A and B are shown apart, each in its own frame.
Chain A
Amino acid sequence: MSGAKQPVWDLPVRLFHWLLAGLIGLSWWTAKNDALEIHLYSGYAILSLIIFRVLWGVFGSSTAQFKTFIRGPRAIIAYIRDSRAWKAIGHSPLGALSVLAMLVVLKLQVATGLLNADDDGLTEGPLSAKVSQAAVDFAHEAHELLFKLLLTLIALHVAAILFYQFGQKKNLIGPMVTGKAEVDPAAEPMRPGKYWVALLCLAAAIATTRALIALGG
């Protein structure tokens, strides 16, 4: 690889990533320490981020778009056989699976959080009062189980980054901070999304979050 660094991750993707990482940590801490008021707000923020990311996966930069990074089984197998032959930028075919898995589990985690309530019924998710106690109990169990699944996926994610860092001498953390990486000259450059589109996606995400919370009355 040679030449100047090229953009691979746009600012919205990077902000999404690090805000999400921080908020997952905050959600974890507030649940462990019974700061459930803050836990609820942290969950709302994560909900907004997730909706934003899905919208940005349709309307955002090329490396953020699902249609760019979601690849079929053939591409994934080829990548596993020889990862160095893959010269493109953005999520690798295998990494895309990790991204999708984390997004799906996070969506389920937020959904069960909306329905969940503390055992004593004193702190309730915004939609908890609208459903039966059996549904709340189910959401309660699922919310705990899904978090373990999420932690497992995050551990895999971090292990993969360490593997690339030390096993393949490929730095993945730097580009997620600066947005730029040394790329193969033959690789198709990133087509950046428009910032006003990002702002619209964010506004839509926040509006949807507020509407969901308001459903609880």
Chain B
Amino acid sequence: MRRLPVLIAAAAGAIAVIGLSPGGAAQQAARPAAMTPAKAKALMHYRHERMETIRDNFKVAGKEVSGSSPDLAKVVKPAATIDTLARQASHWFPAGTGPDVGKTMAKPAVWQDPKDFAAKMTNFQKAASTFNAAAKSGNAGTAKAAFGDLAKTCKACHDLYRKAH
């Protein structure tokens, strides 16, 4: 009789474990792949490199469109690169790649306010696509304006979601 409470506790524990484990497994399965630290770091490094590629192309394009006699032929390639990368950028911020995992300039707010972050990403993609089209159009005025709009979408997101130095 004295052992009854222990048995009940053990049974309850067993039920709890059995009952909860399928849920736990389901949660695990919901993520396509578990984010191991090594994977997270590799992705964060990749993200950093791609952001730098966007920055480099942005600078090349910016120098040309804001110059006195812009040659849009030189803008077509960087604009296309930015457009391509902008489409991928929203996939670079899965959960588990924040500042708690490794060195990054991404603020925790990226994962705390995912809706707004996604909206900012969409604005960026749209502006990159518009700039790409503008570069191909051959109209320097349109390209310059589209470049300015693109820069604004970079800044709007960085102001909120990129860490100060």
Chain A residues in the interface with B (C-beta under 8 A): 31-34, 119-122, 129, 133, 144
Shortest CB-to-CB span from B16 to chain A, Å, is 48
Main secondary structure of the interface of B (DSSP, over half): helix
CA A33 to CA B165, docked complex, whole Å? 8
Not counting A32-B164, A120-B162, a sample of 13 additional A-B residue pairs whose C-beta atoms are within 8 angstroms of each other reads A31-B164, A33-B164, A34-B159, A34-B164, A119-B55, A120-B55, A121-B55, A122-B151, A122-B154, A122-B155, A122-B158, A133-B56, A133-B59
Q: Does B105 contact A (CB under 8 A)?
A: yes
CA A133 to CA B56, docked complex, whole Å? 8
Q: Does B45 contact A (CB under 8 A)?
A: no
Shortest CB-to-CB span from B36 to chain A, Å, is 27
CA A31 to CA B164, docked complex, whole Å? 7
| B residues near A120, Cβ cutoff 8 Å | 51, 55, 154, 158, 162
Instruction: Establish whether residues A121 and B58, one from each chain, have CB atoms under 8 Å apart when the complex forms.
Output: yes
For A32, A121, A133, which residue has the most chain B Cβ atoms within 10 angstroms?
Answer: A121
| B residues near A121, Cβ cutoff 8 Å | 55-56, 58-59, 62
Q: Does B63 contact A (CB under 8 A)?
A: yes
CB-based closest 8 A-B pairs: A34-B164, A121-B55, A121-B59, A122-B155, A120-B158, A31-B165, A32-B164, A120-B55
CA A121 to CA B164, docked complex, whole Å? 14
Chain B residues in the interface with A (C-beta under 8 A): 51-52, 55-56, 58-59, 62-63, 105, 151, 154-155, 158-159, 162, 164-165
CA A55 to CA B150, docked complex, whole Å? 44
Q: Closest chain B residue to A123 by CB distance?
A: B155
Shortest CB-to-CB span from B85 to chain A, Å, is 13
CA A68 to CA B31, docked complex, whole Å? 71
| A residues near B155, Cβ cutoff 8 Å | 122
| A residues near B62, Cβ cutoff 8 Å | 121
> Given A31-B164, A120-B55, A120-B154, are A129 and B159 also a contact pair (CB < 8 Å)?
no
CA A119 to CA B49, docked complex, whole Å? 11
